[in-house]
Each structure stands twice: as C-alpha cells, then as structure tokens.
C-alpha cells in the first residue's frame, strides 16, 4: 500500500532542493531527485521494493507538477497577446506538458534508486 505522506515528503524535498539545485544545473537536479527519493523510501520503509515504489512516485509526481506549472505559465503568457496568442500559448503549453511528463517518468528512476537506498537505511 502506498504511503502518501512519504511520497509528499519526498516530493517537497525534490522541489526544495531542485530550486536550490538550479545553481548547479544537472548535478543539483540529480542530487535533489536522489535525496527526495531517499526521503520517500526512508519514510515508507518496508524493504527495497517499497522504497523503490515510493521514490518513483515522488519523482514522477514532481515532474507532473512541474509540467502543469509550465503549461499554466505558457498559456497565461500567450493570453497576454490576445486570443490567437492564447491559443498558441495553450498549444505550446500542452506540448511542453507532454514532453516534461515523458522526461519526468524516465528521470524518476533516479528517485526510485534513492528510495530503495532510503528503505535500506530505514530497515
């Protein structure tokens, strides 16, 4: 069973460290994902599979939320240029959302590894 408080804790760590990690592109995001997944796995406990699952959910969830934020920002920015700009902004925003979600699902694997390590440390 999924421990959603562990997933949300991991998500918050990923977001907080991801913002700080913008200073060191690539490395900062990787460290944020590993540590956030580790927090989710540690808090969930229950062995490697449970930690892997909770870390994967935390990483995927953060990617989906990032995609939604970018979609809204691009759509609202497009609306500033009128109805045609709004349509173009929404189309670009939706395309960006799909790409970010696809990349997040692949990139969530490092959060899952962090979750498995976190569960090992916990148990």
Q: Is 17 left (phi over 0), alpha (psi -120 to 50) or beta?
A: alpha
pLDDT at 1: 85
Give mean pLDDT, residues 53-70: 89
pLDDT at 105: 81
Label residue 85 by pLDDT band (50, 70, 90): confident
Give mean pLDDT, residues 9-38: 87
Give the percent of the chain with pLDDT over 90: 39
CA 11 to chain centre: 7
Give mean pLDDT, residues 37-61: 94
Show the beta-strand stretches assigned E in the chain: none
Question: From CA 111, how far away is CA 59, in angstroms rounded?
Answer: 5
pLDDT at 13: 94
pLDDT at 10: 95
Residue 118 confidence (pLDDT) above 80: yes
Residue 114 confidence (pLDDT) above 80: yes
């Amino acid at each position: 069973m999924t421990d959603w408080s562990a997933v949300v804790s991991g998500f918050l760590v990923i977001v907080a460290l991801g913002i700080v990690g913008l200073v060191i592109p690539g490395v900062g995001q990787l460290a944020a994902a590993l540590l956030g997944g580790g927090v989710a796995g540690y808090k969930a406990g229950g062995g490697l599979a449970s930690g892997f699952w909770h870390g994967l959910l935390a990483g995927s969830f953060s990617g989906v939320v990032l995609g939604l934020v970018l979609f809204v920002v691009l759509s609202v920015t497009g609306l500033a240029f009128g109805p045609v700009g709004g349509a173009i902004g929404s189309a670009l925003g939706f395309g960006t959302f799909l790409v970010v979600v696809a990349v997040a699902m692949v990139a969530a694997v490092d959060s899952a590894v962090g979750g498995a390590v976190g569960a090992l440390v916990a148990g």
